[in-house]
Every structure is written in structure tokens, then in C-alpha cells.
A and B are shown apart, each in its own frame.
Chain A
Amino acid sequence: MSHTQDKSSALGQGVMIFVYLAVLTVLEFFVAVTFNAISILLVVAVIKAALVMYYYMHVYKLNNDDGTDEHSYQFKTGTNRIGLWLFLLSDAFVFAGLMTMRINLLGLTRPHQLDQNLGLAVTAVLLVSSFFMNRGETAMSYGDVKSFMNNTLITGILGLGFFLGVVFVEWRLAAHEGLIASFGNPAVGPLGGVFYMMTGMHAFHVLTGLIFLGIVWNNARKGLYTAEKHWGVEAATVYWHFVDLVWIFFYPALYLIGKAV
């Protein structure tokens, strides 16, 4: 792994991307509550996604020159990277399918039972967690295990917060407002089903991401990773950001697009 920038500028970049993402999210929220222009929401989401893919998930690393020695760690990491990205591509189709379902069943409406502030809050939590994840990975690529562990711990706590927030606060509030997964309740139409399915599938991925983080955290504690060899950390990071990436699209789809009914 070659460093093209020093540690503090890597940190600076992480902070900057975070600020961009935060501003864009607030913009999104503002657009949604004021004049509701779907095209703007779409453009913003795509920009956010591009930022995350490039700066947090390092998609350009797929292009790295890994040498020709098939037994070197570097070469194997290159292969692993391809494997991981192929997996993410495949997984993205699940979410694309859910999105198709949402568009087909709900069209330009969205559940009114959802609390806008809560939605923004969980989104923010996930965003902040990505920031710390990025810091953790950067630390690891400089061999700073201690800082990696601290940052990952914060990420994990935030992620857990997101997970619990969705399942125990958001779901319960929504149910309380009458948005039940329609256990035989025709009143809410497909809204409940779509909402619980999309958030549930996403939360499931957060949960697997948390497990993954736990594993690499524990292995880092055992001292298994170095600045040169930490594929496990990179994989966990990319996966975590991928889950964030999905939310970048799901958040507007559930909370912001269209008329609340």
C-alpha cells in the first residue's frame, strides 16, 4: 500500500467529505420540506453516493497494480477486493429490487406516519459513524492500531445506536402512529409492508456490518493487522460504507420523496 498523502491531510480529507455529506443531507431535508423537487433529491443522492464510493470506499483501488506474483499478499488483496466489490454489486440488486417495489406500490406518496426529525437523526448517526469508520481505516493504514480500535469502537456504538434506533424507536413510533406491517390490516395499504421491508433489510445489513466490525476489532486487539496487511479492516470498512450508501438512497425514498399519505 503506497501512501500518496500524509496522515494529517488524509484526516483533513475525511473531515471535508464529512462536511460535504452533512451539508448535502441538510439540503435534501430542506428541499423535501419546502418545495419537494424529486429531481434535486435524486441529484443530491447521486452526488453523495459518488463521494462515499470514491473517498470512503476507495473504489479506485480496484485499479491498483498488484504485481504479478500470485502468492504475494498484495496480489491476493487485489483479488479479494474484486471479490468484495462483486459481492456488493450483487447485494445492490436486492436493494434495487426493494426500490422497484417501493416505486411500483407507493409511487409518489410516502407514509405520513414517519417522524421527519427522527429520520434525519438516524441518518445523521449513520453519517457520523461513516466518518469515524474512515478515520479508523486511515489510522490503520498508518499502522496506528490503538486509534483504529478507538474509532471503530465509536463507529460500532453509533451503528448499534442506528440499529436500535430503527428497530426499537422508529418502528415502534411508526406502529404507534398506525403504520403496522398490516397483520391483516388493510387500512394502511402497502405502506407498512414497504416501510418495514426496506428498513428491515437495511437494518439487517447494519447488523451484519456490526458483527464484521466486532470481528476485525477483536483481531486488531490481538495484533493481527499491520499498516501493510489489513485486508480484513479494509473489507469491513468498505462494507460499512456500502450500508451507508444504501441508506443514502433509502432515506429520501422513505422520508422525503412525494406526498405524505
Chain B
Amino acid sequence: MKKFLATALARGLLWQFAGTLLGAGLVTGIRALMGLSVNDVFFFTEPAWVMGGFSGVIAFLLGSGAVSDWVKWARGMDTPEHHEEPYSGWEKYFHVSLDHKVIGVQYTVVALALISIGGLFALIFRTELAASGLQFLTQDLNLFGQNGLQLYNTLMSLHGMIMIVSILLGIAGIINYVVPLLIGAQDMAFPRLNAFSFWIAVPAAVLLLMSLFLGGFDTGWTGYPPLSVRAPVGMQMFFLGVFVAGWSSILGALNVIATVLRMRAKGMNAMRMPIFVWAAIATSIIALTATQFIGLSFQLVMFQRLFGMGFFDPAKGGNPVLFQHLFWFYSHPAVYVFVLPGLGVISELLPVFARKPLFGYRWIAMSSLGIALVGFVVWAHHMFTSGMNEYLRLPFMYSTLLVAIPTGVKFFSWVATLWKGKITFPTPMLFVLGAIVVFLLGGLTGPPNATVSVDLHLHDTYFIVGHFHDTIFGGFVFPFFAALYYWFPKATGRRMNETLGKLHFWLMTPSFFVLTFGMMRIGLLGMRRRIADYDAALGFDATHLALTIAGYLIGLSVLIFIYNFFASVKNGEKADGNVWNSRSPEWQVPSPMPAHNYEQPFEVVGEPYDYGLEGSQYVKFIAPAKSGHK
């Protein structure tokens, strides 16, 4: 306990708490001097909370020590290029570390924690939906200043956003851990920035959760004004949280691009990069640029609330639909941020378990870029009913349909990779195969949404909810689990338990089909999104009950995974060699990975996926180049 309180995490949280009070107190003091009101329903006034939330984040960063090197630089002091890791064992994960592998694990574990919290919220509101009529989130419930219906909306909205943040952290975790290893780098290009990107996500998550206790907000994860202008203070904490998490994502992406551009091993030209690296680049291009738009759109609503600037207020000449454009300009490309790394994992692992080269490597690499770029010009397909210019809907329909082509290329190539392979089915492969099927269903339900006339019916129904749970599970959740099972031995030198892994898979997959097929079915028949209660006359009770049970089973399977994950760190079967018999460079050295990655640098001498080609080699280790090392 004492050791824990001394960690950067504990210190940061403590500082955040103090910083929040300090900032809020400061504004309250100033308001008192100016003769303005000083307290409100949730003790502080809204401006005080906003300032408090903001200063809390700054305090967290100072307290945890994530910025101390930069402060030293600014003051003209020098810092060692690599800190020697002062902590070992579990402790090192709770301190600021510059090692990309540690940061990767930190990201991953926080992502798992957030999936659990977001999933728990889903289970709570799913329980409410198990039958029509209100069960326990009733009108006269009063929790955190919200009645049952409001609490439903808050939980549902937070479920959405916390899950999305957890995805961003999850892919950052995989990318951080894997990309430097795949390209033969010692670390990311900017290790301090990397640590900063991770640590700033922690206070962001705290802010998001704080919103639950400050009256919540009832806008969904999209936060459309004018509703979000009227919501309680919780809304502001949500905006701030997303804004801060956005910076984590932007800076992380910057780092990935710089790393891949500059730190590749000798001989690794663009067409010899492992395919996952292509996916990471495509994702990062989107995250680097588009993310600014969600930050800006939320910032504008924040200012509208604080200063009455009427950006989105029609009474003041503002335009509510403008918000939707700004918001979706990020949030559509964001969905490709979620899936591209996942699809990269699929492409990366399939050849290993099919023992066959990746079919059509170039086209797959290009399709990632294609999806990313086309993804920038389709955003208004979320706004077909929004009242924007009627004719603008057509170009957005066409551009959206186009995304099917590069995505299709991936699917066909995967099938061709499996064709005539010699396929084995360890747990990571099961999740890869599950991912393909599930993502296919999600993807194929995309074009109907993209077709304006049909979307007029589908928009804001559970059909859409089904569509995106399919794409997100297929594009992120399944590949994420596959990646964890696959690279776990690399990080720990031990394997996860296969039996539990298979149980996880066989419990999760069928339940998941029940969940999304059920969603789509009732969605088509008239089930709207984001409602706490539904008309019993629609006859959806039985389906909803099945959905709830399926949700619980998925939750159970995730719990099994979490148990397996932590238990295997200590007790898993030892596995320090090339567990999967892969050609990838990281498996050519013993596990767990040494602190500074490859003791000997390697040179790329062949194609990455030449399975079945006699005598071919991907990498060759060479003697370390003599250099003026420090």
C-alpha cells in the first residue's frame, strides 16, 4: 500500500484532486470578489468546475512527473537519453517510464480497465432494457442528482465515450508495443512525448467518470447542441475529458509517424514493412489531423455555455448543424482509426497461422491508406436526416459507398491467404477468424446506411447500434484480444492458458451474434436508439431480454479473459522462444524482450511473409554499428 501511494499514478491522482479544488476555488474566489454567485447545485459554479477540471489535469501531469524532463530542458538542463529503469516488477508500470514496451502495457491495461467500466455501464442499462416499463432506473430514483431516465442517458452516453476512449488507448497500446519491435527500433522517436501521451489519458478518464457524479449529461456520446448546451455541468467534464484524451491521441499518432519515417531497420523499404506498420501509419494520419475537429467542436460548445457565444444557437444567428459537421469530420474518420490497426492485426497474424504468404501484400497496404483517405470525405453520411442541404446528401452517399472497395480488397485477400494454407487454430487465430466474420457483417450493413433513402428509415435505430457493435467488435475488440493472446508471450515470457482462451472465444462469439442480430432485427422494426424505455406494444420484450442475457455472457467471457491475463503473468506456461514459429523479427530473439530491444540490430533481407519459400529469410542480425553512442 505504501509502495502504491509512492507511485506516479497515486501521486498524480492526488495532485489532480488538489488541483481541481485549487482551480475551482480560485474561480470561486474571483467570482466572490466580482459579486457573482459562488455556488450551485453541485457546490461549485460551472466556470469553477471547468477551471478546476482543467487545472486538475495540469496538476496530474506535474504530480506524476510526466513532464519533469521537459521542465528541465526549458530551464537549460540536460537529461540522460534513456533513464535507467529505477523500478522493477509491477512497480515500473505505475511510474513514468520512457520504455515503449512499458508504455504499451500501461496503455493496454488502462484500456482493459476502461472496457470493464464501460461494459459495466452497458450491463446496467441493458438490465433496465430487459423488459419494457421502467425497472429500477425509475422516475423517482435520485442518484447523483439525476432521476432514472437521466441516469440511463448518462450511463448510455458514458458507455459510448468510455468505450471509444478505451479503443483509442487499446490501439495505442498495441501500436506502442509492437511497432518499434517490428521495424527494429530501440524505442519510439520521442520517448518523453510517448510517456506524456499515455499519462495525459489518465486524468482524461477521470474527468469522463467525474461527469457521472456532476449531474451527468443526456446527449449521447455525440453531444449535439442545443441539448448539450442545456445539460448539467457533467457535460463540461465530458467535453474536457474528451478534449484531453484527444491530445493523447494526437501526440501518440505524431510519434508513430515520426518513428516509422525515421527509425526503420536497414533495408526495410516501404514495401517490406510488416503490414501492421502500414495500418498504424494510416490510423495515425487520421488521428493526427482529424482529432482537432472534435476538440474544436466540443470547445466551441464549452464556450457557448460559459460565455454565451452563440455559435450553435439559432436565436443568436448560430447554426446547430454546423456542430454536426465539425463533430463528424472527426468522428467518422475516427471509426477507421478504430479498425485499421485491428485489420492490420488480422493481416499480420493470418499468414503465421495459415503458413502461407499474405496474399496481395501491396494491395492490402494501399487499401489501408485508401480507407483512411476516402474516410475523410464521407462524414455527412451521419447527417442524412439532419436538415442539411438535400442535394449534398448524394455526393456523401457516393463517397461512402466507395469505402466498400478497399475494405473488400482486404477481405478477398484474407480469404485467398487462407485458401490452401495449412491452418492451425490456437486462441489468437480463433479471434482473428471471429474478427473477419464479425467485421464482415458489420461492414456489409454499412452500405444500406450509406444509401440515403434506406438510411432515412435506419438512422437512429438499433440497426445502427447493431452495425457499429459489429464493426467495432470485428474491427477492434476481436483483433485486440487476438493481439493480446499473440504478443503476450513476447511481453512476459509466458503463454496465456489455452483452455481459458478457447472458453473466452466460444462464450463471447455466439453471445455476440445474439446481441447484434437482435439489435438489427428490432432496429428495423422500429426500436429507436437511446431510449430508456420502449413501447410494450412493439413486442420487443423477449428480444430485449435475450440481448441483455447475451450482454452478460459477453461480460462473463471478458472477466475470464481478465483473470487469464493476470494469472498467466505469474503462472503461465513458460514460453521464451518463437512460440508461433513466426518470421517476424521480434520472435527471432528470446522473450521477454530485453530492455533496449535488439541487442544486435538487424537488416531486412527478404519479404516479410514468405512462408513456404525454401531458405528465405526476412531479417538478418548484424554486428552493432560503431557509433558515437552518447
Residues of A at the B interface (CB closer than 8 Å) are 69-72, 75, 78-79, 82-83, 86-87, 89-91, 93-94, 97-98, 100-101, 104-105, 181-186, 189-194, 196-197, 215, 218-219, 222, 224
Residue B296 at the A interface, CB < 8 A? yes
Check B262 against A97 for contact (C-beta < 8 Å): no
Give residues of chain B (270-323) contacting chain A, Cβ–Cβ below 8 Å: 288-293, 295-297, 300, 303-304, 307-311, 315-319, 322
Check B288 against A89 for contact (C-beta < 8 Å): yes
In whole angstroms, what is the CA distance A71 to B263 when docked?
A: 11
Check B262 against A78 for contact (C-beta < 8 Å): yes
Q: How far is the CB of A187 from chain B (nearest CB, A)?
A: 9
**Which of B254, B308, B322 contacts A104 (CB under 8 A)?**
B322
**Which of B258, B322, B629 contacts A83 (CB under 8 A)?**
B258
Check B311 against A93 for contact (C-beta < 8 Å): no
Q: How far is the CB of A75 from chain B (nearest CB, A)?
A: 8
0/1 string, B317-336, CB within 8 A of A gives 1: 11100100110010000000
Residue B189 at the A interface, CB < 8 A? yes
Residues of A within 8 A of B630 (CB): 71
Residues of A within 8 A of B250 (CB): 90
In whole angstroms, what is the CA distance A194 to B141 when docked?
A: 41
Which 5 interchain pairs have the tightest Cβ spacing? Answer: A189-B317, A193-B309, A93-B292, A97-B296, A190-B317
Besides A69-B627, A79-B263, A83-B190, 16 more A-B contacts (Cβ < 8 Å) are A71-B627, A72-B627, A75-B262, A82-B257, A86-B288, A89-B288, A90-B288, A90-B291, A93-B292, A105-B317, A105-B318, A181-B309, A182-B310, A186-B317, A190-B317, A191-B317
Residue B74 at the A interface, CB < 8 A? yes
What are 5 of the A-B contact pairs (CB < 8 Å)?
A70-B627, A71-B629, A79-B262, A82-B258, A190-B317
Residues of B within 8 A of A86 (CB): 254, 257-258, 288
In whole angstroms, what is the CA distance A92 to B234 when docked?
A: 30
Residues of B within 8 A of A222 (CB): 76
Which residue from chain B places its CB closest to the CB of A91 in the assembled complex? B292
Residue B261 at the A interface, CB < 8 A? yes
Which residue from chain B places its CB closest to the CB of A196 in the assembled complex? B309
Check A82 against B317 for contact (C-beta < 8 Å): no
Check A190 against B307 for contact (C-beta < 8 Å): no
Residue B387 at the A interface, CB < 8 A? no
In whole angstroms, what is the CA distance A182 to B74 when docked?
A: 39
Q: How far is the CB of B377 from chain A (nearest CB, A)?
A: 14
Known: A69-B627, A105-B322. A192 touches B309 (CB 8 A): yes
Check A181 against B307 for contact (C-beta < 8 Å): yes
Residues of A within 8 A of B300 (CB): 101, 197
Check B289 against A90 for contact (C-beta < 8 Å): yes
Check B74 against A215 for contact (C-beta < 8 Å): yes
Give residues of chain B (548-564) contacting chain A, Cβ–Cβ below 8 Å: none
In whole angstroms, what is the CA distance A90 to B261 when docked?
A: 17
In whole angstroms, what is the CA distance A72 to B625 when docked?
A: 13
In whole angstroms, what is the CA distance A167 to B251 when docked?
A: 29
Residues of A within 8 A of B190 (CB): 79, 83
Check A72 against B628 for contact (C-beta < 8 Å): yes
Residues of B within 8 A of A196 (CB): 309
Residues of A within 8 A of B329 (CB): 97
Check A105 against B326 for contact (C-beta < 8 Å): no
In whole angstroms, what is the CA distance A219 to B615 when docked?
A: 56
Identify which of A82, A222, A224 gathers the most chain B CB atoms within 10 Å of its CB. A82
Check B258 against A105 for contact (C-beta < 8 Å): no
Q: How far is the CB of A172 from chain B (nearest CB, A)?
A: 16
Residues of B within 8 A of A93 (CB): 289-290, 292-293
Residues of B within 8 A of A189 (CB): 310, 316-317
**Which of A89, A91, A97, A183 contacts B308 (CB under 8 A)?**
A183
Residues of B within 8 A of A71 (CB): 627-630
Check A218 against B76 for contact (C-beta < 8 Å): yes
Residues of A within 8 A of B625 (CB): 69
- Between A and B, how many residue pairs show CB distances below 8 Å? 118
Q: How far is the CB of B630 from chain A (nearest CB, A)?
A: 7
Check B310 against A190 for contact (C-beta < 8 Å): yes
Q: How far is the CB of A159 from chain B (nearest CB, A)?
A: 18
Q: How far is the CB of A193 from chain B (nearest CB, A)?
A: 3
**Which of A89, A185, A191 contacts B289 (CB under 8 A)?**
A89
Check B296 against A94 for contact (C-beta < 8 Å): yes
Check B326 against A186 for contact (C-beta < 8 Å): no
Check B309 against A101 for contact (C-beta < 8 Å): no
Give residues of chain B (180-221) contacting chain A, Cβ–Cβ below 8 Å: 186, 189-190, 193
In whole angstroms, what is the CA distance A89 to B289 when docked?
A: 7
Known: A94-B295, A197-B300. A70 touches B263 (CB 8 A): yes
Check A82 against B262 for contact (C-beta < 8 Å): yes
Check B326 against A197 for contact (C-beta < 8 Å): no
Q: How far is the CB of A61 from chain B (nearest CB, A)?
A: 14
Residues of A within 8 A of B261 (CB): 82
**Which of B254, B289, B318 contacts A190 (CB under 8 A)?**
B318
In whole angstroms, what is the CA distance A215 to B629 when docked?
A: 28
Check B257 against A190 for contact (C-beta < 8 Å): no
Check B293 against A69 for contact (C-beta < 8 Å): no
Known: A71-B627, A104-B319, A193-B318. A184 touches B258 (CB 8 A): no
Q: How far is the CB of B70 from chain A (nearest CB, A)?
A: 10
In whole angstroms, what is the CA distance A135 to B341 when docked?
A: 45
Known: A82-B262, A190-B316, A193-B318. A87 touches B325 (CB 8 A): no
Which residue from chain A places its CB closest to the CB of B315 in the assembled complex? A186
Residues of B within 8 A of A97 (CB): 292-293, 296-297, 326, 329
Check A105 against B289 for contact (C-beta < 8 Å): no
In whole angstroms, what is the CA distance A218 to B308 when docked?
A: 40
Which residue from chain A places its CB closest to the CB of B318 in the assembled complex? A190
0/1 string, B24-41, CB within 8 A of A gives 1: 000000000000000000
Check B254 against A87 for contact (C-beta < 8 Å): yes
In whole angstroms, what is the CA distance A219 to B72 when docked?
A: 11
Residues of B within 8 A of A183 (CB): 307-308
In whole angstroms, what is the CA distance A71 to B340 when docked?
A: 32
Which residue from chain A places its CB closest to the CB of B250 in the assembled complex? A90
Q: How far is the CB of A248 from chain B (nearest CB, A)?
A: 19
Check A83 against B295 for contact (C-beta < 8 Å): no
Residues of B within 8 A of A186 (CB): 310, 315-317
Known: A83-B189, A89-B288, A105-B317. A69 touches B258 (CB 8 A): no
Residues of A within 8 A of B316 (CB): 182, 185-186, 189-190, 193
In whole angstroms, what is the CA distance A69 to B626 when docked?
A: 9
Check A197 against B309 for contact (C-beta < 8 Å): yes
Check A100 against B254 for contact (C-beta < 8 Å): no
In whole angstroms, what is the CA distance A87 to B263 when docked?
A: 18
In whole angstroms, what is the CA distance A92 to B106 when docked?
A: 30
In whole angstroms, what is the CA distance A219 to B250 when docked?
A: 28
In whole angstroms, what is the CA distance A212 to B62 when docked?
A: 19
In whole angstroms, what is the CA distance A86 to B193 when docked?
A: 13
**Which of A79, A94, A105, A181 contacts B189 (CB under 8 A)?**
A79
Residues of B within 8 A of A83 (CB): 189-190, 193, 254-255, 258
Residues of B within 8 A of A94 (CB): 292, 295-296
Residues of B within 8 A of A89 (CB): 288-289
Check A90 against B292 for contact (C-beta < 8 Å): yes
Q: How far is the CB of B9 from chain A (nearest CB, A)?
A: 27
Which residue from chain B places its CB closest to the CB of A200 in the assembled complex? B303
In whole angstroms, what is the CA distance A222 to B190 when docked?
A: 25
Residues of B within 8 A of A91 (CB): 292
Known: A71-B629, A90-B254, A93-B293. A100 touches B76 (CB 8 A): no
0/1 string, B613-630, CB within 8 A of A gives 1: 000000000000101111
Check A101 against B307 for contact (C-beta < 8 Å): no
Residues of B within 8 A of A90 (CB): 250, 254, 288-289, 291-292
Identify which of A71, A72, A87, A97 gathers the most chain B CB atoms within 10 Å of its CB. A97
In whole angstroms, what is the CA distance A197 to B326 when docked?
A: 15
Residues of A within 8 A of B325 (CB): 100, 104
Which residue from chain A places its CB closest to the CB of B321 in the assembled complex? A104
